[in-house]
Amino acid sequence: MSINDLPLSILFAALFILFLLSAFFSGSETALMSLNRYKLKHQAEKGHAGALLAQKLLDKPDRLISLILLGNNFINILITQLATLLGLRLFGDAGLAIATGILTFLLLIFGEITPKTLAAMHPERIAFIASRIYAVLMKIMWPFVLLLNLVTNNLLKLFGAHSDETSRVALSHDELRTVVSSAGTHIPQNHLDMLLRVMDLETTTVEDIMIPRNQLVGLDLNDDWNELEEQIVNSNFTRLLVYRENLDNVIGFVHLRKLLPLFRDGHLDRERFEASIRPAYFIPESTTLTQQLLNFQEENRRIALVVDEYGEILGLVALEDILEEIVGEFSTVPATQTREIRQMEDGGYWVDGSLSIRDINRELGSNFAAEDAKTINGLILEYLESIPVPGMTVLIDDYPLEIRKTRNNAVKTLIIHPQIQRIRAEMDE
């Protein structure tokens, strides 16, 4: 019995099965290529059988694609032949055109669009099942896959491409940020914020977070001992900077924990005080926070003095400062209620001029940018190229900045008014 003698019911059943196979190849290809490679790697490391098979297949994408296209094209050719036969038997010579039109529509709907859309929506569910089937097919069809790869790889070489070139390039810093940010529905917001801050450590330097030189508080060894003793007793810090005459001649740091027992027993004097001083630890201003965190660990230190290329002291950075960059301020007082930033009733913010631009952008959600300035005072001076006077208002990055107080050629306090764009948006509403 030839195929022309087969009942129509058998031919239609065969056509239906072929459509299912075509849908399988199309959908599984989309599912496997849509898998999240990092999630797949995690599942494979946990021992998921389907993930392990899928990862093994995707390690050689050229072979997998050859196998899928080999099967899909073979099935589609059979569908074409069978549809043509059915068209001729049902409609005669006109059946060829009819079969072609109907077949094109059905293949697009049931062989391409529907299975690929479904696979894109549920890639893991389909890919893990398909990988088991492809693992078997790969062993059966290996000679044909090898032949196809041999031909296509030689063609690729003509265009300067090589099949062994991997596309799994490591994620860049910005790409990794995007991946972490997109995981917001699976990770608590506070944990997500910390992850993003950890990533920012690599692009932030100690100069960005240091306490500037003009805010450093220390003990001058040239002072009278009674005065030094009074400063030690009333100090708000556990580690005190010690210098002689000025900050250009730093001696080191002293820990109050070592001094208090001596003070309690009445044995604290200048000689014992100087003996307890630990030499200062200096770091260059360009050191990233990631590197400095490791440096603190290796050097068994918690405080370092930041110096420029000429060795001049620019400021001080502590381990706590880096930790605050990750977890946020340790203080229980809201940042907008600190002495540096205070929210006003009209929506503006009363700001200390020495506050860093990074802290202001973080707390207010603003977008101030500066080439060299680190503080809001520096930003204003950089913008004006002159010393402002109280009462002056400047517009920087669409924010009106009202100067309220100046001292020693610097802005001490100012008011940051709401952004002009926001005011216009509120008026339009």
**Per-residue exposure over 48-80, b if at least 16 CB sit within 10 Å of its own CB, e if not:** bebbbbbbebbebeebbbbbbebbbebbbebbe
Instruction: Select from 327, 354, 383 the last residue of a domain.
Output: 327
R_g (Cα) of the chain, nearest Å = 35
CATH code of the domain containing 368: 3.30.465.10
| 353-381 confidence digits (pLDDT tens) | 888 888 888 788 888 877 778 888 989 99
Contacts 24+ apart (CB under 8 A), 59-63: 61/167, 62/149, 62/152, 62/153, 62/163, 63/138, 63/145, 63/149
| 102-141 confidence digits (pLDDT tens) | 888 888 898 889 999 999 999 988 999 999 999 999 988 8
Structural domain of 52: 3-159
Do the domain assignments include residue 36?
A: yes
**Banded model confidence at residue 2, pLDDT cuts 50, 70, 90:** low
* pLDDT, mean of residues 32-56: 86
CB of 216 closer than 8 Å to CB of 306: no
Tell me, yes or no, whether 362 and 303 share the same domain: no
The two tokens of residue 277 are: 């001083």
Alpha-carbon distance 400 to 398, whole Å? 7
Contacts 24+ apart (CB under 8 A), 213-218: 213/247, 213/313, 213/314, 213/315, 214/354, 215/315, 215/354, 216/241, 216/247, 216/315, 216/316, 217/241, 218/242, 218/243, 218/247, 218/250
* pLDDT, mean of residues 253-258: 88
Task: Tell the residue number behind the tokens 């009674």, with chain if given.
Answer: 226
Alpha-helical runs (H) found in 213-318: 225-233, 256-264, 270-275, 289-299
Do the domain assignments include residue 258?
A: yes
Contact partners, residue 57, CB within 8 Å, separation at least 6? 32, 63, 64, 131, 134, 135, 138
Tell me, yes or no, whether 319 and 381 share the same domain: no
The partner residues of 241 in beta bridges, in order of sequence, read 218, 253
pLDDT of the residue at 170: 61
pLDDT of the residue at 334: 44
Do the domain assignments include residue 166?
A: no
Tell me, yes or no, whether 19 and 113 share the same domain: yes
Do the domain assignments include residue 174?
A: no
| 28-38 confidence digits (pLDDT tens) | 999 998 888 87
Do the domain assignments include residue 429?
A: no
pLDDT of the residue at 246: 87
Q: Of residues 337 and 274, which shows the higher confidence score?
A: 274
Q: Count how many domains the chain has.
A: 3
Tell me, yes or no, whether 323 and 363 share the same domain: no
Tell me, yes or no, whether 121 and 146 share the same domain: yes
Starting at the earlier edge strand, list the strands of the sheet with 341-343. 341-343, 349-352, 410-416, 399-407, 393-396
Instruction: Select from 327, 356, 381 the last residue of a domain.
Output: 327
Phi, psi of 365 (to 5 degrees): 70, 20
Q: How is residue 419 annotated by DSSP? A: P
pLDDT of the residue at 27: 92
Contact partners, residue 51, CB within 8 Å, separation at least 6? 40, 43, 44, 128
Do the domain assignments include residue 384?
A: yes
* pLDDT, mean of residues 330-337: 47
Tell me, yes or no, whether 349 and 293 share the same domain: no
Alpha-carbon distance 65 to 338, whole Å? 60
**Banded model confidence at residue 401, pLDDT cuts 50, 70, 90:** very high
Tell me, yes or no, whether 13 and 145 share the same domain: yes
Residue 395, SS3 per DSSP: strand
| 139-179 confidence digits (pLDDT tens) | 888 888 888 888 887 887 787 766 555 445 566 666 666 76
Alpha-carbon distance 144 to 63, whole Å? 10
CATH code of the domain containing 214: 3.10.580.10
Range with the lowest mean pLDDT among 56-65, 66-75, 261-270, 348-357?
A: 261-270
Tell me, yes or no, whether 378 and 308 share the same domain: no
CB of 254 closer than 8 Å to CB of 242: yes
pLDDT of the residue at 20: 92
Tell me, yes or no, whether 101 and 210 share the same domain: no
Average pLDDT across the chain, whole number: 83
Do the domain assignments include residue 237?
A: yes
pLDDT of the residue at 196: 79
Tell me, yes or no, whether 258 and 384 share the same domain: no
The partner residues of 406 in beta bridges, in order of sequence, read 411
Tell me, yes or no, whether 230 and 322 share the same domain: yes
Cα→Cα distances 287→21, 94, 237, 279, 332, Å: 59, 79, 25, 20, 29
pLDDT of the residue at 250: 92
Do the domain assignments include residue 334?
A: no
Strands 282-284 and 303-307, how do they pair?
Answer: parallel
Instruction: Select from 327, 352, 386 the last residue of a domain.
Output: 327
Tell me, yes or no, whether 33 and 144 share the same domain: yes
The two tokens of residue 67 are: 């196998």
